[in-house]
Amino acid sequence: MDFLSFLNNSITPYHAIKNSVNMLLEQGFQELTFQKIWHLEPSKSYFIKQGPTTVFAFRMPQKISTKLRFKLAMAHSDFPTLKVTPRSTFYKSGVQLVHSEVYGSPLYHSWLDRDLGCAGLLVYEKDGQMQNRLVQSLKKFNIPQLAVHLQRNVNQEGIKVDPQKGLDVFWSSNQEDSLESWLQQELAPGEDLLDYDIQFFDAQPASYGGVNEEWIYSGRLDNLASCHAAIKALLKSVPAPDSICGACLFNHEEIGSETREGARGPFLKAVLAQILESLQLPNINLAGILENSFAISMDMAHALHPSYPEKHDIRHAPSLGGGVVLKQNAQKRYATDVFSSATFKRLCRNAGVSFQDFVSRNDMPCGSTIGPSIAASLGIPTVDVGEPMLSMHSIREMSASKDHLEMILLIVALFKEI
């Protein structure tokens, strides 16, 4: 699946993982579960899921030996959005509205006057068994903002959105049309709805822009760009001589990762331990192997906005199209250290990949990502990198196609012997 198609079809984390899994299956990856004994073979490819929003895919090395190590590329599958609440639909002033709870930290005003889609997951019971299904409405929705005539100073004072009342979605003019009635229509006879996880998303398709079409305009670039790069690079790679090469996509980074399907959960460590146990290698242990392994944590990075250069330390200000961004922070909000940075730079040099540095200003707080969580829980050397972008956490974001291609090249280089 090409990049724009991946962006257009990955409208929720559930859809992103489904699309990733389909790409893996098309290339012959075999699915594993924790409920069955693993029989892993050299040069074969596998994947395992944790729920419907987290997946780890890996290629076994050409031979199994005591030189074994892991090379990992990691990203997160979630993004800021509006999640429908359990009792969401209410009728007011001739409009059927749907109330949502804010997920993550979106730019509120960017959700106004946009074509919105609605999609997610249904959990239902059929014949005594609990099942689930992805759903997507083919209709478009909107959150209209107040006219300038009714807020005369808005251009001087800025748009101020009350997230409790200002993000209710216009659903229908008919009081009988509720979100819940749409969900019921998605069920077949004999299926009893138990619960749902539904969210709104930017319905405008991803596209190339700029006079040379060098830029990408899309919702969900943070962090579906990294997800696509990780999976694409794994599919482009071949089994390494001695390394297990894997790509892991986690959920819930935007809210701290401390969940069953997040980077702070037990999933990745359990998978790596299960791989090692299945190989039954003598006199080696997971901690020792991880110490000699390497991980790249991938999340989008802040590019310099030419109209606001003062928001960056000008000596560490990445530009669109300038290459992969190396993220560093003295407070360890990123996992990068001097050794993982040196390894990253060597990878870039050998692969011909351009890179640029990002360090936050001392007077502005630094964000974080999954890198520190993975490095702390596994003890694996980790570097935090990303593609530069603008409008981060807006419903519509912007990046450069050149940087995405370079990120894929970087991960392909990681999966080769170094």
pLDDT digits (tens, 9 = 90+) for 98-119: 999 999 999 999 999 999 999 9
Q: What is the pTM of this model?
A: 0.96
Residues 88 and 72 both lie in one domain: no
What are the distances in angstroms from CA 103 to CA 121, 254, 365, 396?
16, 8, 21, 16
Domain residues for the domain of 167 are 81-202
d(CA 100, CA 105): 14
Alpha helix segments (H runs only) across 216-332: 221-236, 267-279, 286-291
Supply the pLDDT for residue 1: 86
Residues 361 and 242 both lie in one domain: yes
Domain boundary among 202, 234, 255: 202
Q: Which residues contact 198 (CB under 8 A, 6 or more apart)?
A: 83, 84, 118, 119, 120, 121, 135, 179, 183
Residues 41 and 149 both lie in one domain: no
- At 353, the amino acid letter reads V
pLDDT tens per residue across span 349-367? 999 999 999 999 999 888 8
Q: Give the CATH number, domain containing residue 311.
A: 3.40.630.10
d(CA 46, CA 382): 23
pLDDT tens per residue across span 140-199? 999 999 999 999 999 999 999 999 999 999 999 999 999 999 999 999 999 999 999 999
Residues 249 and 165 both lie in one domain: no
Pairing of strands 355-358, 324-327: parallel
The CB density around residue 123, as the number of other CB atoms within 10 Å, is: 13
- Would you say 56 and 84 are in contact if contact means Cβ atoms under 8 Å apart? no
Supply the pLDDT for residue 145: 95
- Would you say 301 and 382 are in contact if contact means Cβ atoms under 8 Å apart? no
Pick from 40, 35, 30, 31: nearest CA to 280: 40
Q: Per-residue pLDDT for 53 more than 90? A: yes
* DSSP state, residue 7: H
Q: Would residue 214 count as lying in a domain? A: no
| Average pLDDT of span 243-265 | 96
Q: What are phi and psi of 239, to 5 degrees?
A: -55, 130
Residues 359 and 281 both lie in one domain: yes
Q: Per-residue pLDDT for 417 more than 80? A: no
Residue with tokens 């200003």: 361
Domain boundary among 202, 235, 266: 202
Q: Would residue 208 count as lying in a domain? A: no
d(CA 213, CA 215): 6
Residues 354 and 298 both lie in one domain: yes
Residue with tokens 């979605």: 169
Residues 372 and 310 both lie in one domain: yes
Q: Per-residue pLDDT for 329 more than 90? A: yes
Residues 113 and 223 both lie in one domain: no
Q: Which residues contact 134 (CB under 8 A, 6 or more apart)?
A: 12, 14, 15, 18, 119, 120, 121, 122
Cβ-count burial of 166 within 10 angstroms (0-12 exposed, 13-18 middle, 19+ buried)? middle
What are the distances in angstroms from CA 303 to CA 87, 255, 292, 332, 356?
39, 22, 32, 20, 10
Q: Would residue 211 count as lying in a domain? A: no
d(CA 74, CA 54): 11
Residues 276 and 353 both lie in one domain: yes
| Average pLDDT of span 307-327 | 95
Domain boundary among 202, 233, 264: 202
Q: Give the CATH number, domain containing residue 125.
A: 2.30.250.10
Supply the pLDDT for residue 232: 98
Residues 225 and 338 both lie in one domain: yes
Supply the pLDDT for residue 87: 93
Q: Per-residue pLDDT for 135 more than 70? A: yes
The CB density around residue 350, as the number of other CB atoms within 10 Å, is: 11
Q: Would residue 130 count as lying in a domain? A: yes
d(CA 309, CA 305): 6
Residues 256 and 363 both lie in one domain: yes
The pLDDT confidence band at residue 281, using thresholds 50, 70 and 90, is: confident
DSSP letters, 306-361, are TT-GGGS-GGG---TTS-EEEE--TT-SS---HHHHHHHHHHHHHHT--EEEE---
Q: Would residue 353 count as lying in a domain? A: yes
Residues 126 and 231 both lie in one domain: no
Neighbour-count burial for 287-319, b at 16+ CB within 10 Å, e otherwise = eebbeebbbbbbbbbbbbeeeeeeebeeebbbe
d(CA 366, CA 110): 22
Supply the pLDDT for residue 246: 98
Look over the chain and give the mean of its residue pLDDT values, rounded to a whole number: 96
Q: Per-residue pLDDT for 126 more than 90? A: yes
Overall domain count for the chain: 2
Q: Would residue 323 count as lying in a domain? A: yes
Q: Per-residue pLDDT for 220 more than 70? A: yes
Q: Would residue 133 count as lying in a domain? A: yes
Q: Would residue 241 count as lying in a domain? A: yes
Supply the pLDDT for residue 284: 84
